[in-house]
Each structure stands twice: as C-alpha cells, then as structure tokens.
Amino acid sequence: MASATHAAASPIVEERHARTDGLAASNSRGAEVVKIAIFAWLAMLPVTMLTPPLKELIEPLTGSMSGLLGAELFSLVKPLAAFGFQSINMLGAFICVPLFARFFRRRGILKSVAFVALTLDGLLLASMSIAPNVMWLLGIRFLEGAAHVLGLSALMAIGASFAPENRRGRAMGLIGAAMMFGTACGTRLGGEIWTLSPKWFFFIAGLIAAFTAICTLLFASDPQPDQKPDADRPHWTQILRTNPSLGIAYAYALIDRFCVGVVISTFVLYLANIHALPAKEISQLLFLFLFPFALLVYPAGRLSDRIGRVRPIALGSAGFGIVFAAYGIIPLNWMPAAMIVSGILSALMFAPNLTLCADLAPMSQRGAAFAGFNVAGSLGFLLGPIVAGAALALMWWMEFSPIAGYRMAFLVAGGGEVLCAAITLPMLRDLSRRGITR
C-alpha cells in the first residue's frame, strides 16, 4: 500500500521539482538580462557625453584651417568638421564590425569580445585629448566607433540569448531602455562635465568605458555555445538573403539611427548656431528627449508583447517623423514639449523593432541577426550627418539663409521615417497574419 502511494506521489513530486527548476532557470536568465541592461547603460554614457559640447570640441582644432581656406569657404567647412566627427565613428563601425564580429563569432566568446572592444573604446576616448589636429581626431574617432559598436553588439547578442521566449519583448525592451537611459544620462553628464572640467573631459569618458569593460568581464556570463560547426554559422548577410523579412527590422534600424545622427550633429549645431545655446542648455534639451524615451522603452516592450509589434512600430515611426520634420519651424520656447513628444514616440517604436529582429531570427542565428541590425543602424548613423551636412552645403551654395539648410535636413529625416512606415506597414501586417511575428 505504501509503495502504491509512493508511486502515485512520485509524478507529483517530479512535477513540483520540474516547476522549481524551471522557475530557478527563468530567474537566472532574467538576472543575466538585467546585468546586460546595466552594462549597456554604462557603455552608452561615454560616447554620448561627446554630443552637447560638439561645437566647442571641434572649433579649436579647425582653427589651423582658416589660413588655408578663404573666410567664406572656412565658414562652411568649420561646421562640416562637426558633421564629420559625428559620422566617421559610424563609418568605422560599418566597415570594421562585420569583419571582427565574424572573427570572434567563430570562437563563441561574446563576453571576451565585449571586454576587449570596450577596453579599446576607453583607450581611444582618452587618447582624443592629445589629438594635435582635426585629422588625428577624426582618425581616432573612426576606430572608437568600431570598438564601441562591436562591444555593444556583443552585449545585445548575450542579452537576446538569455531572454525567455515568451518574454522577449520585455527583455529587449529592458535592454533598449537601459541604452536610451544611458544616452540620456550621457548627454546630460557631458554638458555638466564640459562646463566644470573640459581639460579632463576625454579622460573621464575613457575611464567610464574601461570600467564598463571590467564589469562585463567580471559579472557577465556567456550563453551556451552553439553546437554547430563554425562553417555552418551564417553571416548576417546570408541570413538576410534566406530571410528577407529581417530587412524590415533593418530598414527601421537604419532610418531611426539616421534621425539620431541628424539629432546629434545637425540639431545640436542648430541649437548652438541659430539659437546660440551653450553646451549645458543643449544637454538639458536632449535630456528632455532621451529621458522619456528611456523611461518608456521597457513599457513599450511589454506593450509589444500584449498587442504585437506592428502598430507600435508603424504608428510610432510615422508620428515621430512628423514631429521631427517640424523641428526647424518650432519656436524655441516650444522645443521642450517637442522633445518630450519625440521621446515618447521614439520609445513606442524602438523596443518593438528590437523584438521584431529577435522574432525573425532563430536562436542559433540571433547573434548574427543583431550584428546586421547594428550594421544597418551604423549605416543610418553614418548617413544622417552626411546627408544633413550636404543639405546645409546645398542651401549655402544656393545662397539661402543659414536656417534653410537645417530645415531641409529635418524635413528629409522626418520624411524618411514617415515613408518607411508607409512602405513597410503592409509587410508587417502580412508577417503578423502568417504568425511570424505578432
């Protein structure tokens, strides 16, 4: 009788043990995602510190060019150097990251990739303080962009690997929120540090990046290695060819980062040159954009788990594009409200797009898929300042007023967001109907 009771109870006990083990595993994976979110927040601080004092960083190093160029041409080239500073780092990422990501992927050591890349990022940021001229500064910036995006891609791949299948939107939303909160804190911190101690500005940025690298090495965990042979692990371009729907997530990554590139170059210079705002006040305005963005990315990720990815991505992008296009005509006293609205709409579209990328790639290909996501974002980040600078140059050549170039740049970027939403909405609906995403 006792043995019969024991036999009947055994499945119940086993089920309880299974539930306990499953809960422990879920909690462990959740803790890993939280750690990656913290490291992503730290990684964003030093690179976004450079944005508010952009004009003050570049102008002293361009002074030597004034004797080589005429006064009229120098007045155009001087702001274009700032555009170059804000785009050449993404050129470095666009060229170098796919090569190095492929090299490290074969060894399956994402944590080590993040540590090495973030350490190099810190060294390069600190070395900017001794750049003798603008060409040296741009060369260092090129390498720094490659190191930063490689480290961030490795962190995102680790986080995506630990994200539970049924809570992927929340997990990626948390990591996205941490990145945006790091951007918000970094821009605010940059304005304050530049005001208080410009001499130590680059050293402090480098120390933060190095601290992030050490924390990643000590506390992050590598996901279980893929059992596939190295030759069977596809590059992100191969994944895109076999799964073209990933191009939708990549398109949004490109246009979203295009707009970010315009913000950190054109919009910052617009506030400095047209409205004569100092670095501290520029950082305050950027904070009004980025703080609600960071605050709402995680709720937006949860919302995408509840209602799907399609509506938040398309409606958020279209709304953000309309507001962005109006930056050049919004009065300065209304700009804080425009920044807050922009942050809310950006959060609405950002987390669902991260989740869409994870939805469209199987677990074994997710690292490569996010590498492609970041390459697309890097390309957008690269093109944003270049296209905006071209708009300024065109308006200058056509002898329009200085503000006309800024308005044209904002219109192109905002219009791109609206156009992307209009083109991809039917595709997103089709993916949702087929059950590929939600």
Q: How far apart are CA 10 and CA 29, in angstroms?
A: 28
In this structure, what token pair is assigned to residue 49?
Answer: 């510190």
Task: Tell me the C-alpha distance between 82 and 59, whole Å.
Answer: 8
In degrees and rounded to multiples of 5, residue 308 shows phi and psi of 100, 175
Residue 80 neighbours by CB under 8 Å, 6+ apart:
389, 392, 393
Q: Judging by beta carbons within 10 Å of its beta carbon (0-12, 13-18, 19+), is residue 2 exposed, middle or buried?
A: exposed
What's the pLDDT at 21?
A: 47
At residue 25, φ and ψ (nearest 5 deg) are -65, -40
Distances (CA, A) of 62 to 131, 357, 371: 12, 41, 35
Tokens standing for 45? Answer: 């601080």
- Residue pair 134/65 in contact by the 8 Å Cβ criterion: yes
Q: Which two tokens stand for residue 47?
A: 């690179």
Kind and range of the H or E element at 415? Answer: helix 402-433
CA Rg value for the chain = 23
Q: Residues with Cβ < 8 Å from 351, sequence gap 6 or more?
A: 169, 172, 173, 176, 177, 297, 298, 300, 301, 304, 312
Give Dmax over CA atoms of the chain in angstroms: 102
The answer to whether the beta carbons of residues 271 and 338 sit under 8 Å apart is no
CA-based torsion, 169, 171, 173, 176: positive or negative: negative
pLDDT one digit per residue (tens) for the chain, 438 residues: 445 555 545 555 444 544 444 445 566 777 888 999 999 999 999 999 999 998 788 877 666 555 555 555 555 556 667 778 888 887 887 787 777 756 555 556 788 889 999 999 999 999 999 988 888 999 999 999 999 988 988 888 888 778 766 666 677 768 877 887 888 899 989 999 999 999 999 999 999 999 999 999 999 887 766 555 544 556 778 888 888 999 999 999 999 989 988 998 889 989 988 999 988 899 999 999 988 888 887 888 888 888 888 999 999 999 999 999 999 999 999 999 999 999 999 989 988 888 888 888 877 677 678 778 877 887 887 788 889 888 888 888 888 888 999 999 999 999 999 999 999 999 999 988 888 887
Distance CA 152, CA 244 (A): 24
Among residues 52, 79, 51, the alpha carbon closest in space to that of 65 is found at 79
Q: Is residue 259 part of a domain?
A: yes
CB neighbourhood size of 60 (10 A): 9
User: Given this model, what pLDDT does residue 13 score?
Assistant: 47
pLDDT, residue 124, reads 97
- Say if 151 falls within a structural domain: yes
Structure tokens at 216: 């990643």
- Residue 4 maps to a domain: no
Q: What is the rounded distance in angstroms from the CA atom of residue 368 to the CA atom of residue 322?
A: 33
User: CATH number, domain at 207?
Assistant: 1.20.1250.20
In a domain, 172, yes or no: yes
Cα–Cα nearest to 350, from 184, 181, 177: 177
Characterize 137-146 residue by residue with b for buried, 16 or more Cβ atoms within 10 angstroms of its Cβ, and e for exposed: bbebbbbbbb
Contact 332, 267 (CB under 8 A): no
Report the number of distinct structural domains present in the chain. Answer: 1
Range of the domain at 380: 32-61+71-223+234-433
Has residue 5 been placed in a domain? no
Stated pTM of the model: 0.76
In a domain? residue 120: yes
Is 2 within the bounds of a domain? no
Q: How far does the chain reach from its first CA to its final CA, in angstroms?
A: 52
pLDDT at 302: 85
CA dist., res. 438 & res. 59, Å (int): 48
Please state, in angstroms and as integers, the Cα–Cα distance from residue 362 to each residue in 161, 230, 359, 430, following that order: 10, 17, 7, 19
- Residue 358 within a domain: yes
Name the phi and psi angles at 185, rounded to 5: -65, -40
